[in-house]
Amino acid sequence: MATILSVSGSPSATSRTARLLCHLDDRLRQQGHEVTSLAVRTLPADALLGADVRHPAIARAAALFEEAEGVVIGTPVYKAAYSGLLKSLLDLLPQYALAGKTVLPLATGGSTAHVLAIDYALRPVLSSMGAAHIVQGWFTLDKDITVGDDGTPAVAPASADALAQVTDAFSAALGGRPALMAATV
């Protein structure tokens, strides 16, 4: 199966975007993929803002992108675009850091007015970075992402079904099997 890098571009420690990615990462692991998570907010601010590509944490983040076959990019939508924190990281990566990679863009936000942020803000950047295949992304409303009684992320059923479909398409594009097929084999 594939090696996947799951990137959270949220600046918040209690991010709904991070919860959504955790939910998705679990599904991808069930399909047999190796998933590594990267929360951009944990990278040193001075290195991000100072464009210090030689900083060990930034170099390691760039190496994670290089090693991955697939990349999931998750971001909250602020002012109709992806987060500035995510932009800071993407700006520090090599121009073609996504060359040959399959990418799944995800976004979260408080209103359906932000649904097109994936296609009009994030997708062009991912494409310019050389992504071989950008699968259909998905926007999830903040209200549909919660934490279950056991502390695990929970997604409202309608959103979870749609997210499962885009996740399975991403997995299939990487050469994996959808979760239902994997469970029956």
pLDDT digits (tens, 9 = 90+) for 46-99: 999 999 999 999 999 999 999 999 999 999 999 899 999 999 999 999 999 999
A 10 A CB-CB count for 117 gives: 23
pLDDT at res. 178: 55
pLDDT digits (tens, 9 = 90+) for 93-123: 999 999 999 999 999 999 988 899 999 999 9
pLDDT at res. 181: 41
DSSP state of 31: T
Task: Give the closest residue to 108 by CA, choosing from 53, 167, 56, 163.
Answer: 163
pLDDT tier at 149 (50, 70, 90 boundaries)? confident
Out of 3.10.20.600, 3.10.580.10, 3.20.20.70, 3.40.50.360, the CATH code matching 3-184 is: 3.40.50.360
**What's the mean pLDDT in 126-147?**
95
Per cent of the chain over pLDDT 90 is 84
Phi-psi region of 137 (alpha: psi -120 to 50; beta: other; left: phi over 0): beta
Give the start-to-end residue ranges of the domains of the chain: 3-184
pLDDT tier at 176 (50, 70, 90 boundaries)? low
Burial class (CB in 10 A: 0-12, 13-18, 19+), 124: exposed
Q: Two tokens at 116?
A: 């097109």
Contacts for 48-53 with beta carbons within 8 Å, 24 or more apart? 48/85, 48/88, 48/89, 48/92, 49/88, 51/91, 51/92, 53/92
